[in-house]
Chain A
Amino acid sequence: MQPLRTNSVEIERLYREHGPVLLLFATSIAGDRGRAQDAVQQVFLRVLEKRKLDEVEDVKAYLFTCVRNAVLNDHKASRRSVAIEEESAWFDPPQRDFTAELRLRRALGRLPDDQRQVLVLHVWGELTFLQTAEVLGISSNTAASRYRYALANLRESLCAKEDSCANPSR
């Protein structure tokens, strides 16, 4: 018998496990941390209310899809490009290097939306290209190709002026 996933304890576990990356993904689409937070909360509460999770095969990919839809359904989000908030961090940086965190955030903000989403899903969400493709409604080849471009662009953006990529431990 399949375990019952849709109870509050399980929802909270999923929230703890995937919440940070879902929030990052939502922020990378919305650009606004507050609205991203609202979207993620909304998704989890709706999942709890509708109790649909038992029928879902790939819960992680499903949650990412729901979060993306929730953000895009917001009228404002679908109409404007991402403007990165300077004051709210997205990451807990290594060695508390908040300058590097800001640099990474800005570099992510400069990426095209589609590349940024693929990058977040694959690197921090640890989704396969197949799962990424499913979430974004594209082919897995397109997902892989966007990822390569995203990685190259991000590296160029981060490493063009400083040597931060050549010396990650810095």
Chain B
Amino acid sequence: MPTLPDDQFERYLKQFRPLAPEQLQLEEHSTKSRTRALAALTSVAAAVIVAFLILYPRLRQRTERDVQHASVARIEVPQPLTIRSADALLAGAPSFKAAVDVLALPSHATSFGVKQSALEVLGKDSKL
């Protein structure tokens, strides 16, 4: 049986044209990309909100503490010190310890009221 030489056989094969594929789904792809971008944006926003919800109470607590310390520092020790004025001081102070600090070291109230306890200082003094 006669067979075709290579080049003719190639030409014969090339007469069979490959069928075209389905249309490229670029629209669907761009929609998917948009959806993905939106999802990423939403997650970032959610993360920011969660972080805010977690950090906000702590920040608020710290701010309140700072305000309390500041108010302690601003307390003026009544002269002369009476039971009534001491009661008023204790009522206005954020804590008993803070009130004692102010009473013990009135001239250093601003610095000691926040950073150092008078009870600790007195404790150290007694060791000496």
Chain A interface residues (CB < 8 Å from chain B) = 8, 11-12, 15-16, 19-24, 37, 40-41, 44-45, 48-49, 89-94, 100-101, 104, 123-124, 151, 154-155, 159, 163, 165-166, 168
Contacts and interface: CB of A to CB of B under 8 A. Distances in A.
Interface of B: 1-4, 6, 8-22, 24-26, 29-30, 33
Nearest to B14: A123
A20 B18 contact: yes
What does DSSP make chain A's interface, helix, strand, loop or mixed? helix
Given A12-B24, A123-B10, A94 B16 contact: yes
A72 B3 CA distance: 35
Contacts of A94: 15-16
A92 B14 CA distance: 10
Nearest to B5: A155
A19 B26 contact: no
Given A155-B3, A165-B3, A166-B3, A101 B16 contact: yes
Nearest to B6: A151
A40 B17 contact: no
A41 B4 contact: no
Contact of B24 (A44, A104, A168): A44
B9 to A, nearest CB: 6
Given A41-B25, A45-B29, 11 more contacts: A15-B21, A15-B24, A37-B21, A45-B26, A48-B29, A104-B13, A155-B3, A163-B1, A166-B1, A166-B3, A168-B12
19 contacts: A11-B26, A19-B21, A21-B18, A23-B20, A40-B21, A41-B25, A48-B26, A48-B29, A89-B19, A90-B19, A91-B16, A91-B18, A93-B16, A104-B16, A123-B10, A123-B14, A159-B3, A163-B1, A168-B11
Given A91-B16, A165-B12, A23 B4 contact: no
Closest 5 CB pairs of A and B: A91-B16, A24-B18, A20-B18, A94-B15, A168-B12
A23 B16 contact: no
B18 A37 contact: no
